[in-house]
Amino acid sequence: MPLGERSGDKESRYCGVETEFNDDMPQLLSHSLSSAGFDFVVATLMDPAYRPSLMQKDSGGSGALPFAGSDLVLSPSQWSSHVVGKISSWIDLDSDDEIVRMDSETTLKQEIAWASHLSLQACLLPTPKGTSCANYARCVNQILQGLNNMQLWLRIPLLKTDDDSMDVDSNNLVDSWELWNSFRMLCEHHSQLSIALDVLSSLPSTNSLGRWFGESVRAAIINTDSFLTNARGYPCLSKRHQKLITGFFNHAIQIVISGKQVHSLPKGSTDLASNHNDSSSDGAQRHPLRPYLDYVGFLYQRMDPLPEQERFELGYRDFLQSPLQPLMDNLEAQTYETFEKDAVKYIQYQRAICKALQDRVPDEKASVITTVLMVVGAGRGPLVRASLQAAEETGRKLKVFAVEKNPNAVVTLHSLVKLEGWESIVTIVSCDMRHWDAPEKADILVSELLGSFGDNELSPECLDGAQRFLKDDGISIPSSYTSFIQPVTASKLYNDVKLHKDVVHFETAYVVKLHNVARLAPTQPVFTFTHPNQPTMKSNQRYKKLQFEIPSDTGSAMVHGFAGYFDATLYKDVHLGIEPLTATPNMFSWFAIFFPLRTPVFVCAGSSLEVHFWRCCGPTKVWYEWGVTSPCQSPIHNSNGRSYWVGL
């Protein structure tokens, strides 16, 4: 059974055990699953003594393969649900010995064919024997071309030598990420090639570890040697290991316990935090690795429950969505409803409007001066409501124009005004704000036209069009907004875009709830817009060159694209945004935006990444172009808005 349950979890977390070769698979499953409580076994499928060249000598090339029993020893559902195949660890496809190399290739293909026949969900590939893995990768890539839905997990040790001055043998691995990167590039970033990380007793730096959360890690194998012993004699992990395991849980990475029992529990003790039904009351019959499983279950259950916002966002994690086209398309009721549920956003708007009203009208004139406030892009009325609540809170008199181009939303607005008795205060205008002739000028202009990248839903163009009916000393809410980007490793997003097999999708910016990503450097500001845009109505075209420094202790990394965010000043010190360092807490109206790269860019440890971003404006559309110029040259993406644009 899964590792206990936590409030709000919609995904189970599993823990497996790596086993030695055993030709009695039913007994192996019974011992590991039924009596110990593990969810699956990582089991060698073929006798380790088997070598194709020896078989051919002994039987003239016609001998039957000594597989681990028949496929009939388990039901198809048992093979599929409870067994991860473990490819023979002796294979070495880059060996200088031709017989070893040929035996390895034959065995690899036979074992994966057998695992595929058994409908296993995954197979664990052994770690490449040296830093050169070209032939191994070639064979795996051949297999991947005809593979069913099975995943191949390449075993990679979680290793990085942080001290570059150490006397390291050139044959020894300094950064295992580079081995993984070499292998996956030779396999063309295939989506069915994943990672099983071998977690060792010592861990690299936090930045180095962070890279892996943007990669396709499916399992973390923890050897019993990595466990410490607590004061009561039970196995435990260091604080850094605990934090890493928690990170694995949060990213749906399965845990596998490996090795021999190295902890002798105190006499008469019971297992720590045991949460599995034990079929045997005799402690001596328990699986020797049961205490390690119990400790992993204990770590999982003591995690804080997912906050309500994250539970709501679970289904959106790493799901690519096309950004809204707010001018070309009319939003649907469901979209309005989702945004209207974001109470935090409207609380911030109400705070900003309160401050603007107080600055606009002194207390002594509050009863005689009526402030003209225009909500441009009123939707179904949440900003109208926030404005009237601000007027009530500050004791100011208000006259509101609610301007909305979507005729369907206008129907709802009329119903709202009538229901709330606002007829004498609120005038509904069914019109595009850029084409409306206002009967009078506004003191305050309020809008919620911001996109994930700030300006990507044409807030600058819309507010420039509405600016003509704002008084010269009028206030715009928001008053300014800035976009930000940062380079990210995002293997899943890259593979999802690659599935489309065209350039268009690599030149499209996506709205996405980023989860399985590694943020490689702090964000940097890109474009800033200020409203009102005076006095010269500056062009909304923009260009920015940015240089990101990858921290030296991160190690080398792969940049799959750029995550984009925004931060907006609504009025004075009232902010709203999703830039990670300044993000408004508990707000869910916006996810980040993702700008992919057609070809991922490899960056060395301690090196810099130079990227260029353009915001381009034409008569009928606005679009972004982007490209990398260092450490290598990428194409300019989305030239002339050929793949992705926002229609005016």
Kindly list the catalytic residues: 448, 457
Closest CA to 564 of 611, 608, 532: 611
C-alpha–C-alpha distance, residues 508 and 491, integer Å: 17
Residues 40 and 12: beta-carbon distance below 8 Å: no
Task: Give the DSSP H/E element, type plus range, for residue 597.
Answer: strand 592-603
C-alpha–C-alpha distance, residues 304 and 505, integer Å: 37
Q: Tokens in use for 390? A: 């601000």
Neighbours of 472 (CB within 10 A): 8
Closest CA to 437 of 405, 459, 463, 469: 469
Residues 579 and 590: beta-carbon distance below 8 Å: no
C-alpha–C-alpha distance, residues 35 and 385, integer Å: 61
C-alpha–C-alpha distance, residues 468 and 440, integer Å: 11
Q: Is 515 exposed, middle or buried (0-12, 13-18, 19+ CB in 10 A)?
A: buried
Closest CA to 596 of 559, 633, 551: 559
With b meaning 16 or more CB within 10 Å and e meaning fewer, what string describes 222-235? bbbebbeeeeeebb
Name residue 373's amino acid.
L
The neighbouring-strand residues paired with 460 are none
DSSP state of 43: E
Residues 290 and 36: beta-carbon distance below 8 Å: yes
Residues 535 and 502: beta-carbon distance below 8 Å: no
Q: Strand, coil or helix: what is 17?
A: strand
Phi, psi for 453 (deg, rounded to 5)? -105, 20
Q: Which residues contact 250 (CB under 8 A, 6 or more apart)?
A: none
Specify the pairing of strand 480-489 against strand 557-571. antiparallel
DSSP state of 439: S
C-alpha–C-alpha distance, residues 400 and 621, integer Å: 31
Q: Tokens in use for 391? A: 């007027």
> Is residue 404 part of an annotated ligand binding site?
yes
> Is residue 345 part of an annotated ligand binding site?
yes
Residue showing tokens 């603007």: 356
C-alpha–C-alpha distance, residues 294 and 24, integer Å: 26
Residues 410 and 401: beta-carbon distance below 8 Å: no
Phi, psi for 485 (deg, rounded to 5)? -135, 160
Q: What angle separates helix 290-301 from helix 239-250, to the nearest 10 degrees?
A: 70
Q: Strand, coil or helix: what is 533?
A: coil
> Is residue 346 part of an annotated ligand binding site?
yes
* 395-398 contacts, C-beta under 8 A, 24 or more apart: 395/363, 395/366, 395/367, 396/357, 396/358, 396/360, 396/361, 396/366, 396/369, 396/371, 397/366, 397/367, 397/369, 397/370, 397/371, 398/357, 398/370, 398/371, 398/373, 398/425
* Binding site, annotated residues for S-adenosyl-L-methionine: 336, 345-346, 404, 432-433
* Binding site, annotated residues: 336, 345-346, 404, 432-433
